[in-house]
Amino acid sequence: MPEKPVNVNSQCPYCGVGCGLEILPPAEAGRAVRRDADGTPMWATRGDRNHPSNLGQVCIKGATVGQALARGRLRQPLYRTSLSEEFKPITWDKAFELLVDRIKQILKDKRQHAIAMYGSGQFHTEDYYLAQKLLKGALGTNNFDANSRLCMSSAVAGYSRSLGSDGPPCCYEDLDHCSVAFLIGTNTAECHPVLFQRLIKRKKRHPRNVSIVVVDPRATATSKAADLHLAIAPGTDLALLHGIAHLILRDTGFDSDFIEEATEDFAIYAKLVSEWTPDRVIAICGIQESQLREVARLWGRSKGVLSLWSMGVNQRREGTAVVGGLINLHLLTGQIGKIGAGPFSLTGQPNAMGGREAGGLAHLLPGYRLVDNPSHRAEVEKVWRMKPGSIAAEPGLSAWQQVEAMEANELDLWWVAATNPLVSMPNLERVKAAVRQCPLVVVSEAYTGSETADYAHLLLPAAQWSEKAGVMTNSERRVTLCPAYRPAHGESRADWKIFAELGCRLGFGDQFNYSSAAEVYSEFTTLTKGKVCDVSGLSHELLQEQGPQQWPFPLDSEPSSSSKRLYTNWHFPTASGRARFIAEQPLGLAEPPSEAYPLILTVGRYLGQWHTMTRTGKVERLKAMHPEPLLEIHPDDAERCGVKHGNLAAIRSRRSRVTAKVNITADIRIGSVFLPMHWGFNQDLACEANALMHEQACPISKQPELKATAVVVTQA
């Protein structure tokens, strides 16, 4: 950390757009110094003009992040033996002693799989990497999963199945070149605002050169800017994608050269989509035939089609199949590996991509390796300097499986780091009951008052972004160094340091002896050599000197010379070198509407709030933008349910009941209602939307269907 404050450059710690920020010391922000309640001067932030991902643009969350860094912070480790007691301060030494004693006992009993960690896309890559080394290497359990499981694991699985590897093949510049932007299951205007503004700017400059298509049951700020809005019935997206393919094959033309040269399994796919006739698709999706024909024409006849998606596609019990259905359209039309085209998954968290690279899910190892591959395990054990066979051969427990394990009294230690699952998980009452049964719940957290902390025995104060150095990778595969520019708050420590110290105290002193985050990163990069996500040419030093870089960035690469797009040579990392068509029949929603629960609830996000509000909830300007959660309901449904605009409504599913103020709006489809997911039980206006949602998940990605559940709405 610099001794005297100077301007620093970093990446925004909120969404996966990963905007570059310029951070101005309190005294040099060009205006009166703002201070926190305790007198701490606030740092100011603005968009970094030199960062290629945002070119100086920034949204209100990134512009105000400096105001949330010092408020409501956890200052020292706290401990209690049972949830009914008050927390008492303890030293770090005591906290480590407690952890070491408990872990050693568990290992002595050969119950290493009774330990699990639930991490976060808020981690830096160094935090992610050492968490893998600690759990998967030192402790011998693959029970590390992250909130990315709830966010984009269907994208990971979908890319891997269709293209042979994870890794979005596109870049943000494609927004400046595409002729069609096909946005499905994403409210980009609110959830990835800087990217959306880039697209809108282009549309304004060249209205005839770009068409925006939005597929969403709800009219959003995104769909209102679209040329074509397909307000399909919830859960019918795969039927729509097959219907588009049907018309492309039958009428508008496909890319036979690309299919012939670069793909496999086309015949099986063509047979399947031949069943998805326009009549069938429009009946299921609830759209007009002219809309279906228009979107098929755009896909079949346009120069560059860029598809963008996020949780509306991923958070589905057939999320991987829907991602496959979307990539199929790109293969059918040859819209991949070229300028302005490709399937582009937008990540929710700022470093979800880095987590994927570091192996931060229960079935992964660093460098896009797999736990169930013996040579992958051996390669990682060698770099980790662990005994052969240290890494278990079976994938660990995914997010929801960790909850089930606690329910079955199979977990002795559950460690949550940098996230708040007691707001973000589905079926929250079941989660609360399960967590109460776990004998030791550890929560590493920067702030006080998180809902998950209410269920912890041991609270560890974590240094957050701005107080620790590390790298993050954004949605376009761009890696940015985020330096430490403020002192750590109280006794808080960087997550990677906590993991390293614990590793040393557990007897792995040689393997966890790091003097800096740069050293941790350096070890991680060696594990990416020759992989799709190769960053072996990157280091903290290079990123500091040369600025953010996109991967692949192999050893000896020239800065800024790396490939902006993947698969430009039509060669894919599958066994055959060809991309695969995925032929799967749509399943629809796991919990469709019924007589007792006649409406479909979908949940989402507001522009000015982030995830579970632990940080954005502390910024007055953001709170004023969205003072409360609102239930969106169509006028016809409101009348049927007997609820009035501005009054409180009760929303009940098979699992729980919440209340929210009613916003009657024609923006939502008849039969659907919407709630934001931000407000947990510790907020003044609690509205635990995810408590209503079910946990049924995609069998491939294990991502729960957080996007849709059946509810009934009544007057509260």
Write out the residues near ligand SF4 by the rule CB under 6 A. 12, 14-15, 17-19, 54, 58-59, 61-62, 192-194
CA distance 296 to 298: 5
* Least distance in angstroms from the C-beta of 18 to ligand SF4: 6
Give the closest residue to 462 by CA, choosing from 527, 524, 415: 415
**Nearest to ligand SF4 of 243, 548 (CB atom):** 548
From the number of C-beta atoms within 10 Å of its C-beta (0-12, 13-18, 19+), residue 204 rates as: exposed
**Nearest to ligand SF4 of 54, 511 (CB atom):** 54
* Least distance in angstroms from the C-beta of 108 to ligand SF4: 45
* Least distance in angstroms from the C-beta of 388 to ligand SF4: 42
* Least distance in angstroms from the C-beta of 544 to ligand SF4: 20
**Nearest to ligand SF4 of 623, 654 (CB atom):** 623
CA distances from 160 to 63, 367, 689 (A): 35, 14, 31
**Nearest to ligand SF4 of 411, 471 (CB atom):** 471
* Least distance in angstroms from the C-beta of 524 to ligand SF4: 23
Structure tokens at 714: 């009544």
CA distance 181 to 171: 13
DSSP state of 483: -
**Nearest to ligand SF4 of 162, 310 (CB atom):** 310
* Least distance in angstroms from the C-beta of 211 to ligand SF4: 23
**Nearest to ligand SF4 of 62, 319 (CB atom):** 62
Report how far Cα 23 is from the mean position of its chain's Cα atoms.
Answer: 25
**Nearest to ligand SF4 of 19, 238 (CB atom):** 19
Cβ atoms of residues 41 and 417 within 8 Å: no
Cβ atoms of residues 281 and 239 within 8 Å: yes
Structure tokens at 244: 């588009």
**Nearest to ligand SF4 of 194, 199 (CB atom):** 194
**Nearest to ligand SF4 of 19, 339 (CB atom):** 19
543-546, Cβ contacts within 8 angstroms, sequence gap of 24 or more: 543/471, 543/479, 543/480, 543/481, 544/481, 544/483
* Chain position carrying tokens 């205006």: 31
**Nearest to ligand SF4 of 272, 481 (CB atom):** 481
Vertex 89 angle, CA 88 and 92, to 5°: 135
CA distance 700 to 361: 13
Residue least distant from ligand SF4 (Cβ) = 62
Cβ atoms of residues 528 and 536 within 8 Å: yes
* Least distance in angstroms from the C-beta of 13 to ligand SF4: 8
CA distance 412 to 405: 10
* Least distance in angstroms from the C-beta of 715 to ligand SF4: 36
Residues with Cβ within 8 Å of residue 217, at least 6 apart in sequence:
231, 232, 233, 234, 600, 602, 668, 669, 672
